[in-house]
Structure 1
Amino acid sequence: MAGISADQALGIDIGGTGIKGGLVDLTKGELIGERFRLDTPQPATPDAVAETVGKVAQSFSFDGACGVDFPGVVLNGVVQTAANMDKAWIGTSLADTVGPKLAGPGFYLNDADAAGLAEARYGAGRGHRGLVVTVTFGTGIGIALIHDGKLVPNAELGHIEIDGHDAEHKAAASARERDGLSWEHWAKRASKYLVTLENLIWPELIILGGGISKKPDKWVPLLKTRTPLAVAQLINNAGIVGSALAANEAALDRRVTPAGPSPH
């Protein structure tokens, strides 16, 4: 397969334990065939991770647009934070390290942003206008802001301060396990976080994701917010699908954007 397609792209999701990829049908937001996964190398240095990403990409023999998401803030393809990866990533260009391992044009973004974009377009947020926020409760709290289908990248709102604490230290799913909390007790913390968030940005829908969303009946009914809540639908494939979508749209934008005025 060659060139830029309007309905297919490759998505690769870099995680702290695994790197997985899949070819995505962008008309449906679904994988074409099986996804391919390799363990994240330890230590997860830029060169080692890039090699693994390359192996994942090569398994699909696809030279169209490829999106790669990373667990950290990504600005213009450069990693700014790397909480669960090797610190050598900070200041490293994904385009320079991972790009040469890809057969087609690459696009790079934050992992929570990729998942949120997928949910807004194909999952629980499909058809919603205005501001849709995806909140992933996991080791930390990941946030994705989607306004009228467009991503507002790198929203680190999982770190807002509540009662003198970083919010994710108290309200992440890991905090429930660490502090031995009941679902009811943890849901009070999660509600306090969500209410603080909605008072800051006034979303029209909050999508709840992360590993904990596999057991929504245990905690979602306990949450108290004014904003409508929905449970994420794509779960394990959200990062792959969102990365592929972002890469395809970026590639198409580059292809159709008219050239600027000629210099005089």
Structure 2
Amino acid sequence: MSRKHALGFGIDIGGSGIKGAPVDLARGKLAEDRVRIPTPQPSTPEAVADTVAQILDQFGWKGSFGCTFPAVVQHGVTRTAANVDPSWVDCDAAAVLRKITGRDGLVVNDADAAGVAEAEFGAAGARAGVVLLATLGTGIGTALIVDGHLVPNTEFGHLELDGHDAETRAADSARDREDLDWAQWGERLTRYFTHVENLLWPDLIIVGGGVSKKFDKWSPHVHTRTPMVPAKLLNEAGIIGAALLAHG
């Protein structure tokens, strides 16, 4: 379906906040300023869906929408739950959203949504081949895009690295926790990305997460054979990617 002159809507659910806005699907930009509402506590499916409905209603959005979630998502069912209420595990999230919002919502892993947006409108520049997005934050989220197509629910942040779950050694939270300088953290990231490169042989690695804003400080200490660039869409990537995926 053509995206010329088309608007979509994206919602980005996180552990602390739920954000949403209409998206210009031709330009890959928010069509209006996003609205953010704190994530309800406890963050049960029904409470979160009610907050999603509030955001949709604020914009008068009546159609279908895309919705990111910090979990493995299979056919609208959330199989895991990171930083949200454990009642999301094996929840038919799409059905809950439909019941409470009265609209069809496509549910997608948050890193996957960001990866799709970066591949289409951000750092990848619609590059062919294998593109890996890795978000370095509390953990390591990953998205794999092959010739423009998403391979959903990759969990490469949980690869075993030197006998440890990789994200416990190489995420930005590990840098903070262990008070690593940029060079020390760069060594960890080099080990991690070399491991991923040997498994996937990507053509491009995009690094997202808050630390991508400091790319020039730590990237000289990371040595990969694959070109590595910082993400461009930052906090808007999830909303844009969710809207794109929902539009089809």
The interval holding the TM-score normalised by the smaller chain is: over 0.9
**Equivalent in the alignment of 2:79:** 80
**Equivalent in the alignment of 2:189:** 190
**Equivalent in the alignment of 1:226:** 225
1:45 aligns with 2:68: no
- Structure 1 window deviating more from structure 2 (174-183 vs 62-71): it is 62-71
Cα distance in structure 2, aligned partners of 1:66 and 1:159? 30
TM-score scaled by structure 2?
Answer: 0.96
Deviations along 1:205-240, one digit per CA (max 9) or x if unpaired, are 000101111111111122100000111000010000
Cα distance in structure 2, aligned partners of 1:224 and 1:20? 35
Cα distance in structure 2, aligned partners of 1:52 and 1:5? 28
Matches within 5 A, 1:231-250: 231-249=230-248
1:180 aligns with 2:179: yes
Residue aligned with 2:127, SS: coil
**Equivalent in the alignment of 1:97:** 96
**Equivalent in the alignment of 1:70:** 69
Cα distance in structure 1, aligned partners of 2:3 and 2:226? 37
2:3 touches 2:26 (CA, 8 Å); kept in 1? Answer: no
Deviations along 1:129-156, one digit per CA (max 9) or x if unpaired, are 0110100000000000011111100001
Amino acid at match of 2:29: E
Matches within 5 A, 1:1-264: 7-249=6-248
Amino acid at match of 2:219: V
Residue aligned with 1:146, SS: strand
1:65 touches 1:244 (CA, 8 Å); kept in 2? Answer: no
1:62 touches 1:103 (CA, 8 Å); kept in 2? Answer: no
1:69 touches 1:109 (CA, 8 Å); kept in 2? Answer: yes
Cα distance in structure 1, aligned partners of 2:189 and 2:224? 10
Cα distance in structure 2, aligned partners of 1:5 and 1:161? 41
Q: CA deviation at 1:100?
A: 2.6
Q: CA deviation at 1:103?
A: 5.0
Cα distance in structure 2, aligned partners of 1:94 and 1:161? 30
Q: CA deviation at 1:83?
A: 2.1
1:171 touches 1:193 (CA, 8 Å); kept in 2? Answer: yes
- Select the structure of larger CA radius of gyration: 1
Residue aligned with 1:98, SS: helix
Aligned residues: 246
Cα distance in structure 1, aligned partners of 2:94 and 2:129? 32
1:112 touches 1:144 (CA, 8 Å); kept in 2? Answer: yes
Q: Which runs of 4+ in 1 moved over 4 A?
A: none
Cα distance in structure 2, aligned partners of 1:215 and 1:167? 21
Cα distance in structure 2, aligned partners of 1:161 and 1:130? 25
Cα distance in structure 1, aligned partners of 2:66 and 2:224? 34
Unaligned 5+ segments in structure 1 are 250-264
Cα distance in structure 1, aligned partners of 2:33 and 2:82? 29
Q: Percent identity?
A: 52
Amino acid at match of 1:145: L
Cα distance in structure 2, aligned partners of 1:130 and 1:180? 36
Deviations along 1:17-38, one digit per CA (max 9) or x if unpaired, are 0000010001010000110110
1:5 touches 1:64 (CA, 8 Å); kept in 2? Answer: no
RMSD of the alignment, in Å? Answer: 1.3
Residue aligned with 1:62, SS: coil
Q: CA deviation at 1:63?
A: 2.1
